[in-house]
């Protein structure tokens, strides 16, 4: 609890004590004095906020409602009720601010991954600098217990990294020279030397913080509804209260005090705090729960959309499969195995594609080849470049056929290689399914995903074998980025009204499809920057099962938000009617406002407690 919150609580407790004294003291003069002080202590900021709202032209808000209700109660001599309105209203507001603060603190704690400094080696000196000052290629030294400040590659040292803040996983990840080191992870054991591969502004930790900070700007339909509802609801109830006061007083019995009291009760009940606070808090809690499980939501609108999923469309490589290819066979055609591998590895050494890294690893190449010039990576096809002054190609069958080079029929994942128009042969690779994929697809169906589709650029035989093994409803292979987009458009023409299509991918060629889908989900840890930027949700540990977790959190969040809307509107509607009929007094009106708000906020905070073992809360 902050110092400011403690001061506000002391003020509320003091006001409550003075209210009790005003009800219990034997002397009328002392009671009136205690109530006057209590009102001044509890109401001054609300009254001032109401005045400022009127000056700015923003009249109809909860401060205006409470000010009119309490001042009206004073005018008709109901001093204790006037103080009670303010004291309990302030208590409800304090509780709401405390709940929001707890939610923000929970997310801030999860996202407390920003290193304050970075230790770099420059000109044989060890300097401690701001992470923003570290340049690409510099060596960063990370001691045990320190956070990794920038994304990079381990140059020296062996250690374990705590990735919990990023991925939600408790198991540490071992790293050694040559392994990637992600910013925001905590170095647990040995000292590491890391070559910075990105500037701090482009690092994983910076992107995560930006996503979390901007998530609240993208509101769900439920939040937008509440905002619009409050905009029209508040002036409506103010006019209704005025009419409730004037019409019966003028036309029925002339009991101004009686109808004035009813109108004031009506105003107290009508305050929309429970809705305005609890519904956004539900979604904020859902985003926080997702963050704790290594799932970054870029907005509550995406959290809401996931709950109404009709189809899940998935890329193959790096999404359904591990993306860690291994070379299983060299198939030379018009050359030796040595020359085939040499040319293939030299071309692939300039690419970061998983297949490229696998070929280079098999060939033992770590640095880009200086024999390769005029390098071009063609998404969905492969590589075109100059190798030692000769035109060279490395990629799929279509790439070579488009250059009028005859290529034999092959099965599986294959890199075909050509040099100066001559077909050298192919490098055959294999990939494995991710361990959780089958369980993920089963769970997705249980969560309501009626249609499971694979879109891939890989050859049809490989794709069909994997799709059959997984029980996918559709598979479309040998697709370029525009082909994936076209297939997604076909699904949009089929989807039911009010339902959504999710696309899950990790490659740069998936960025257009991620953008077009209702919800784009990127594999964050291994995924390309383009895919992460284009996506609406990022799974930080590349485990597709986290999509199931996201759907569960979404459904629980929507369930709680609907509960709060129905509960708040139901209770307020009943008590508004009772207030208009003169059955409800101001104490019941205060409960209908503050009590409902507190109960709704407590209900909203349940989203923060989501765990896989207690997902029904």
Please list the active-site residues: 315
At residue 136, φ and ψ (nearest 5 deg) are -60, 135
Rounded Cα distance, 499 and 395, in Å: 38
For 11-19, the CB contacts below 8 A with 24+ separation are: 11/41, 11/42, 11/90, 12/42, 12/87, 12/90, 12/91, 12/94, 14/38, 14/41, 15/41, 15/42, 15/83, 15/86, 15/87, 15/90, 16/87, 16/91, 18/83, 19/80, 19/83, 19/84, 19/87
Count of Cβ atoms closer than 10 Å to residue 329 Cβ: 12
State both tokens at 478.
């040998």
Q: Are 285 and 86 in contact (CB under 8 A)?
A: no
Cβ neighbors of 6 (< 8 A, separation 6 or more) are none
For 332-336, the CB contacts below 8 A with 24+ separation are: 332/424, 332/425, 333/408, 333/423, 333/424, 333/425, 333/426, 334/422, 334/423, 334/424, 334/425, 335/424, 335/425
State both tokens at 337.
């195995």
CA angle 48, 50, 54 (to 5 degrees): 115
What are the strands, taking DSSP E only, across 83-149?
118-122, 125-129, 139-142
What are the strands, taking DSSP E only, across 293-363?
295-297, 309-314, 326-332
Helix/strand/coil for 372: strand
Rounded Cα distance, 439 and 441, in Å: 6
Using N-to-C axis directions, what is the helix angle for 256-270 and 545-580, rounded to 10°?
A: 180
Helix/strand/coil for 227: helix
Q: Which residues pair with 427 in a beta bridge?
A: 330, 415
Q: Name the residue among 221, 238, 339, 230 with its Cα closest to residue 283.
A: 221
Q: Name the residue among 354, 351, 509, 333 with its Cα closest to residue 427.
A: 333
What are the strands, taking DSSP E only, across 56-167?
118-122, 125-129, 139-142, 152-156, 159-162
Tell me the residue length of the chain: 617
Burial status of residue 54 (CB atoms within 10 A of its CB: 0-12, 13-18, 19 or more):
middle
Count of Cβ atoms closer than 10 Å to residue 279 Cβ: 27
């Amino acid at each position: 609890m902050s110092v400011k919150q403690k001061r506000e609580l002391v003020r509320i407790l003091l006001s409550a004590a003075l209210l009790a004294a005003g009800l219990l003291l034997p002397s009328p003069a002392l009671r009136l004095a205690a109530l006057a002080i209590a009102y001044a202590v509890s109401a001054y900021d609300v009254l001032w906020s109401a005045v400022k709202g009127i000056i700015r032209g923003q009249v109809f808000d909860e401060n205006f409602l409470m000010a009119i209700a309490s001042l009206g109660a004073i005018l008709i001599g109901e001093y204790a009720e006037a103080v009670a309105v303010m004291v309990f209203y302030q208590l409800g507001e304090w509780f709401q601010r405390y709940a929001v603060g707890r939610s923000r603190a929970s997310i801030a704690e999860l996202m407390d991954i920003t290193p304050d400094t970075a230790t770099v080696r420059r000109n044989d000196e060890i300097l401690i600098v701001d992470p923003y000052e570290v340049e690409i290629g510099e060596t960063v030294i990370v001691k045990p217990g320190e956070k990794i400040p920038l994304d990079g590659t381990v140059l020296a040292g062996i250690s374990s990294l705590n990735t919990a803040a990023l991925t939600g996983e408790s198991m540490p990840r071992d790293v050694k020279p040559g392994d990637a080191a992600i910013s925001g992870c905590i170095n647990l054991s040995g000292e590491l030397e890391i070559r910075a591969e990105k500037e701090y502004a482009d690092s994983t930790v910076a992107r995560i913080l930006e996503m979390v900070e901007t998530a609240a700007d993208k509101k769900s339909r439920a939040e937008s509804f509440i905002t619009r509802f409050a905009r029209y609801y508040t002036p409506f109830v103010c006019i209704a209260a005025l009419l409730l006061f004037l019409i019966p007083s003028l036309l029925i019995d002339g009991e101004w005090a009686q109808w004035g009291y009813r109108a004031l009760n009506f105003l107290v009940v009508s305050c929309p705090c429970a809705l305005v606070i609890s519904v956004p808090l539900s979604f904020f809690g859902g985003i926080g729960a997702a963050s704790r499980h290594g799932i970054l939501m870029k907005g509550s609108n995406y959290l809401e959309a996931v709950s109404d999923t009709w189809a899940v469309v998935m890329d193959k490589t790096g999404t359904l499969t591990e993306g860690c290819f291994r070379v299983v066979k060299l198939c030379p055609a018009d050359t030796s195995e040595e020359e085939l591998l040499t040319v293939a590895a030299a071309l692939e050494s300039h690419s970061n594609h998983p297949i490229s890294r696998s070929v280079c690893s098999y060939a033992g190449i770590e640095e880009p080849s200086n024999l390769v010039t005029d390098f071009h990576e063609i998404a969905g096809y492969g590589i075109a470049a100059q190798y030692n002054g000769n035109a060279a190609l490395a990629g799929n069958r279509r790439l070579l056929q488009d250059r009028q080079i005859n290529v034999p029929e092959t099965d599986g994942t294959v890199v075909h290689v050509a040099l100066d128009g001559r077909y050298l042969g192919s490098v055959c690779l294999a990939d494995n399914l991710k361990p959780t994929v089958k369980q993920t697809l089963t769970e997705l169906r249980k969560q309501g995903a009626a249609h499971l589709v694979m879109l891939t650029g890989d050859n049809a035989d490989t794709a069909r074998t994997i799709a059959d093994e997984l029980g996918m409803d559709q598979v479309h292979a040998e697709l370029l980025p525009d082909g994936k987009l076209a297939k997604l458009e076909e699904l949009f023409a089929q989807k039911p009204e009010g339902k959504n299509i999710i696309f899950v991918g990790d490659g740069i060629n998936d960025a257009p499809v991620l953008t077009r889908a209702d919800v784009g989900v990127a594999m964050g840890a291994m995924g390309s920057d383009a895919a992460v930027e284009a996506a609406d949700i990022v799974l930080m540990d590349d485990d597709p099962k986290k999509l199931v977790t996201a759907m569960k959190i979404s459904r629980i969040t929507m369930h709680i938000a609907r509960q709060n809307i129905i509960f708040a509107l139901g209770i307020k509607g009943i008590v508004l009617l009772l207030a208009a009929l003169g059955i409800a007094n101001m104490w019941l009106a205060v409960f209908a406002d503050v009590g409902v708000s507190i109960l709704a906020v407590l209900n909203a905070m349940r989203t923060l407690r989501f765990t896989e073992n207690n997902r029904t809360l």
